[in-house]
Amino acid sequence: MAKKLYVGSLSYDTNDESLKNAFSKAGAVTSATVVVDRMSGRSRGFGFVEMSSDEEADKAIEMWNGKDLDGRRVTVNEARPMTDRPARGGGGGGGFRNRY
């Protein structure tokens, strides 16, 4: 069974391919994604790696957690499942409009 890992404190230079290459040293990588900001297209400094087995995922955590990747000391642990988040508050109203 595949296990998804959270990778934090990534360098802004790290991309999907370099993340996959680094983690493939621990085993077969099913997917590797660096999360990017929609507006700027720049890395948000974290990503996710899915390993093909639990054993390889555990090996990847041991191999990379607290270690240097692209000049940054990364944090690696098992990703938590997404939970339902509360709805965001209502939007802001418009400003005062002078009718004169």
Number of domains forming the structure of the chain? 1
Q: Is residue 92 part of a domain?
A: no
- What is the spatial distance between Cα 36 and Cα 43, in angstroms, rounded to a whole number? 4
Per-residue pLDDT, 90: 59
Helices (H), 1-100: 16-23, 54-64
Tokens (6 digits) for 43: 């890395």
Instruction: Identify the CATH number of the domain in which residue 47 sits.
Output: 3.30.70.330
Tokens (6 digits) for 81: 């499942």
Average pLDDT, rounded, for the chain: 91
Helix (H, G, I), strand (E, B) or coil at 41: coil
Per-residue pLDDT, 93: 58
Q: Is residue 22 part of a domain?
A: yes
pLDDT tens for residues 4-43?
999 999 999 999 999 999 999 999 999 999 999 999 999 9
